Each structure stands twice: as structure tokens, then as C-alpha cells.
Homo-oligomer: A and B are copies of this chain.
Amino acid sequence: MLRFTLLGPMQVIADGTPLTGIAPRHRAVLGYLLLNAGRVISLERLIDAMWGHDRPDTARSQIHASITAIRRVLRGVDAADRTLSSLCTADLSAGHPARPGASLELGGSLVQGPSRSRLRDGTGRQHRRGKVMSIDLTENSITEEVQSTFDGCRDARTRELFVALVRHLHDYTREVRLTGEEWFTAMDFLERVGKITTATRQEYVLLSDILGVSVLVDLINDHSGPCTTDSTLLGPFYVEGRPAVPNGADISAGRVPGMPLFFTGRVATRSGDPVAGARVDTWHSDGEGHYDVQQAERLHGHLAMRALLTTDEEGRFWYRSIAPRYYPVPTDGPGGEIIRAAGRSPMRPEHIHFWLHAEGYEPLITMLVRSDDPYLNHDAVFAVKRSLVVDFVQREPGTAPDGTVVKEPFQTVDWTFTLSPNAG
């Protein structure tokens, strides 16, 4: 009788006597074969099991050496082949001549299943994309195989983006040992993200925002150079058809209640000269944290708290509105599920958005954030930069910066935006 012990020191015991001669370096191979006795084990799978990603150049010859050594020790033992194959007592191919041999036999060929010659097409070309045959993929070798399918990309950048994407997707899946159930949950989650997304409800953008990807892209691409205003996220509430208004207009249009806010701004070059004729888009929430597009019914579809202004000869622009308020990102969709699961705050601190365009200068998307906001350092989308933190100054009733006499308390904000010259 031939016995193999795997727990404790690995031994091959023939009729009660341990066999010697299988060096430690070969025992791992024998152990793997025993654990998988009766299964088809390809050379590639064996190499993968032994070394994973760190396979030495000599991997194949080392495996062959181990197989030779194992065979040599077992050769004299009559029971060896029978014992090895009876570790899996069902001989699956019995009576099924159509099926390629599927049992591992140490005495036979290591690689079984369809023969390699069958895996060539009429041109004699071997059917393989990566280093490993596609039908022998393991959880490690599959990554290189999938990456190799992007070798034919006509665009080098596309290839770079997908090869890196595959690596990170696969590394993630392996690292967390993603279960099938979790994969189904992810597929269902993404499907629901797709279903809730509309032109005015960008749930993918929200996911990118709350996972910090949007701000990271902004940080990576911030080439604004010294002395210019930092950029930050556009956010989901910019609307194309906003009204153009003259300086001094009340852009809350009297439709929305709240404390009056007087904004005075200036657009300048890096040397401090005024930029006249700059187009300044601005938009912000109302005093309860809602944008106009979130209350279309109440506003009868009118836009409010958003406008397009133009700077005067001194680079100045100014308008009246109402003070905005901190508000939560939308939490009634899949993005909200993540926020609740994490016990995170969905809040964004009080802020005013700006998008500046001027002939000869880089466009600037930015946002000013209230300095004493309780969520200043807890923005749900990580978009506040220290350089964009500004005081919203509380004023007693009196004369506003534009000369208006205001009979109630009001706020003022003043800021100079500095643009970069066009890169071109």
C-alpha cells in the first residue's frame, strides 16, 4: 500500500516504509498534484501554483525536473499509478471514448485534455494571445492575457488606459477576493446607477465625486501656474440656458426668499491688470440649500440664482442675490446607499460656483466656499481648496456695495479671480 502524508512532513510511504529521494524542492510539486489528483493540471497551472507572478525563467525546466524526480522515486512502486489515480476513485473517462483523457497520471503526460496539435488552426498558428494558452488561464495569468487583447489598439493612449484599467480591476478583484455574490451586487448597483441617470441627474458623476476621483482629476490637471486662481469641480448643477444679465442685477429675481447677498468681483491678469469683457457664469443654491433646477415646480420652471455677467473696463462685475446654504448631495439613489453604508456626511459647505471665459486666457471653473461653514473640512465631494475659502461678511442694515439701501441684515462677498494666459 502506498500512502502520502501531507500534514506534518510530506512523505511517501510504501508498505509502511517511507521512501526517500524526493528532495524538498520537489515536494511542493508532488503536494500540489496530490491535492489535485484526478484533475487535469496543465504545466502552466502548475507553474502558476508554484510561483504566481514571480515565475523564474527556468520555471518550465524546474517543473520538468521535479516530475522526473518524482517519477524516479515512484517507478519501483507497482501501486504508484493506481494509487495516484484512485485518489480520485471515479475514472470519468471510462465508457466515454469521445472525451479527451482527463485524469492526471504521473506516469503519462503532464498536460492532458485536447492535445496541443489540435489547438492549431489551418495556418499552423498556435491559438494563444499571451504567454499562457487561453484555456489554461489561472487567476494570476488571466491579467496578462486580457491585457494582450489590447495589443491591437490603433491608438496608443487607448491601449495605455485599458491595459492599466485591466491591471487595477484584476488586482482589486484578487486582493479583496471578490465573491460571486458581491460581483452580482456590483452589477445590480451599476444597473441602478444607469437607470437613475438623466441629463439633470448625473449619478455616475456623483459616484466619481464621492469617491474623490473627480477632485483627483482636477488636481492632476491643475496646470494653472503661479498667481492664478485655483480651479475646482464644475458640479452637477451648471445649466446651459442661464440668462445674461447686466451688472447690478438681482439674480434671485425676487422669486426665492433668503438673506440678501451682494457679490463684487474682479477678473485680473497675473500682473494685476483688469480683464474687460470676461464672461462670468455664476450659480449657487438658495437659502435652504436647493438649486433652482431642484425646485422647478415652485419656480414654475424659471431659473434663479444663476446668471451670465460681463466684466466692465476695470474687470469688475457685481450682482445681488440671496445667501446660499450648505446642502446634501442627492442621497435618494445608489450614491446615497454608499454614503449611508459608510455613515458619511452627504453635506457640501456653502459655496458659489463660477465659470470664467475671456479671450486670450484659459477658462477657469472654480468655486468660493464660506470660511466659517461647519462643513468646510467635510465636503462630501472633497472639492474645497484652502485658496478658495472666503469670508461671507455679515452686515447690519445699511448701504450695500452697489449703493442700494438695505433695511435688513445682508451679506457681502468680494473676490478677485486671476486668469492664466492661453497655453496656445
Flag if B40 contacts A180 (CB, 8 Å): no
Flag if B142 contacts A212 (CB, 8 Å): yes
Nearest CB of B to A220, in Å: 5
Q: Which residue of B lies closest to A221 (CB)?
A: B180
Q: Which of B135, B217, B385 contacts A384 (CB 8 A)?
A: B135
* Copy count, this protein chain: 2
Flag if A113 contacts B389 (CB, 8 Å): yes
In whole angstroms, what is the CA distance A149 to B341 when docked?
Answer: 11
Residue contacts A-B, CB under 8 angstroms, 14 given: A37-B227, A42-B386, A88-B226, A89-B272, A90-B227, A98-B413, A99-B416, A102-B387, A149-B344, A153-B342, A170-B212, A179-B217, A183-B213, A187-B204
Nearest CB of B to A230, in Å: 8
The answer to the question of A374 belonging to the interface, with a C-beta cut-off of 8 Å to chain B, is yes
Flag if B176 contacts A164 (CB, 8 Å): yes
Cβ of A129: which chain B residues have Cβ within 8 Å of it? 377-378
Flag if B158 contacts A390 (CB, 8 Å): no
Cβ of A341: which chain B residues have Cβ within 8 Å of it? 153-155, 158
Q: Which of B91, B219, B270, B377 contacts A90 (CB 8 A)?
A: B270
Q: Give chain A's interface residues, CB within 8 Å of chain B.
A: 35-40, 42, 87-92, 96, 98-100, 102, 113-114, 118-119, 121, 126-129, 133-139, 142-143, 145-146, 149-150, 152-155, 158-162, 164-166, 168-180, 182-183, 187, 190-191, 193-195, 197, 202, 204-205, 208, 211-221, 226-227, 268-272, 338, 341-344, 371-372, 374, 376-379, 382, 384-387, 389-391, 393, 412-416, 418
Known: A149-B342, A162-B338, A170-B212. 13 other contacts (CB 8 A): A38-B227, A40-B386, A121-B374, A135-B389, A137-B385, A142-B212, A150-B342, A150-B344, A152-B343, A169-B213, A173-B217, A180-B221, A194-B195
